[in-house]
Structure 1
Amino acid sequence: MDIVVVKVLHIVSSTFLFGTGVGTAFYLLFASRRRDPRVVAAVAELVVLADWLFTATTIVFQPLSGLYLAHRLGIALTTPWLYWSIVLYVIAGLCWLPVVWLQMRLRDLARAAADRGEPLPLRYDQHLGTWAALGVPALFSFLAIFYLMTAKPAVG
């Protein structure tokens, strides 16, 4: 496959991955602040769908295309900027795995509360706090990855 095509797909894929993460986090946080279980359930349903459609596919594609590019360009995986990008990507991925489960749980809790005509339960807020806390290291990991991939500094 043409290396330029793979580079473009790698960049577009990273844009989808980062954009979906920031966008869905924004919508779920602000919907949750409304405290209306019907609104939260509807938004959480779409957040989960977006995560499966965009995040899950790009989280797989990114390392595959990145490894392909490194191989084709002759860049060793131990090159500092690439090595630390990989480490940060693993950290972000490890944060994302429980986030997916939490989002599905948030959706289910909101849906159940809406069906019963009740407010969001305390467990919802507990899960939301954990979800937000996991988003912080993932966000900063991705920001650092963008920097490393763009600047390619000689970090050690």
Structure 2
Amino acid sequence: MDLTTVKYLHVLSSTFLFGTGVGTAFYLLFISRTRDPKVIAPVAKLVVVADWIFTATTIVFQPLSGLYLAHGRNIPLSTPWLYWSIVLFVIAAACWLPVVWLQMRLRNIAVSAAGQGRELPVQYARVLGAWTALGFPALVSFLAIFYMMVARTVPFA
């Protein structure tokens, strides 16, 4: 595949990855503030589905396409912006894995409470807190990666 097509897919994939992450986090965080399990359950279900469709695929594609582009342009992995982008991507991915599990727990707690006609248990807030805490380093990592991709000093055209 030619480098222009791979670069296009790499940029598109990063947009899906970041957009899905920010979008699903926004909806799950703000719908959780309602504390209404009948409202939270369907949103949490969709958040989990979106994460598997968009985030899981792009989190695999991003490093593969990035490495392909670096190799195709003879850019060493030790180049500072590329090296730190890889480090930050690993941090973000390491945060994402437990976030997916926590999202599934949030979904299950909300579905169970809604099905039983009960309020959300205290456990929901604890899981949501852990989910939020892991989301911040991932968000900051991706923002830094985007900055480095734009501000890098090695031409990548």
TM-score range, shorter chain: over 0.9
1:153 to 1:127, Cα distance in 2 relative to 1, 3 A: farther
- Which residues of 2 match residues 60-75 of structure 1 at below 5 A? 60-75=60-75
Q: Which amino acid aligns with 1:106?
A: L
Range moving further from structure 2, 30-39 or 16-25: 30-39
User: How far does the alpha carbon of each residue in 1:72-98 deviate from its partner, in whole angstroms, 9 at most, with x for none?
Assistant: 000000000000000000000000000
Match of 2:90?
A: 90
Residue 146 of structure 1 and its aligned partner are, at CA, apart by 0.3
Q: Could you say what the CA RMSD is over the residues aligned between the two structures, in angstroms? A: 0.9
Aligned length: 154
Instruction: Give the TM-score taking structure 2 as reference length.
Output: 0.97
In 2, Cα distance between equivalents of 1:101 and 1:133 = 14
Structure 2 residue aligned with 1:118: 118
Moved over 4 A (4+): none
Q: Partner of 1:78: helix, strand, or coil?
A: coil
The within-5 A match list for 1:44-59 is 44-59=44-59
Report the AA paired with residue 103 of structure 1.
Answer: Q
Tell me, yes or no, if structure 1 residue 22 matches structure 2 residue 22.
yes
Identical pairs, percent:
71
Residue segments in structure 1 that go unaligned for 5+ positions in a row: none
Give the Cα separation in 1 of the matches to 2:144 and 2:31: 28
Given the two structures, how large is their TM-score scaled by the length of structure 1?
0.97
**Could you report, residue by residue, the CA deviation over 1:32-91 in whole angstroms, capped at 9, with x for unpaired residues?**
011110111100000000000000000000000000000000000000000000000000
**Taking structure 1 as reference, are residues 38 and 53 closer, same or farther at Cα in structure 2, changes over 3 Å only?**
same
Structure 2 partner of 1:39: 39
SS in 2 for 1:35: coil
Letter in 1 for 2:32: S
**Shift of residue 153 of structure 1?**
5.0
CA distance in 1, matches of 2:91, 2:2: 30
| Corresponding position of 2:151 | 151
What is aligned with 2:130? 130
Q: Distance in 2 between matches of 1:56 and 1:38?
A: 27
Question: Partner residue of 2:12?
Answer: 12
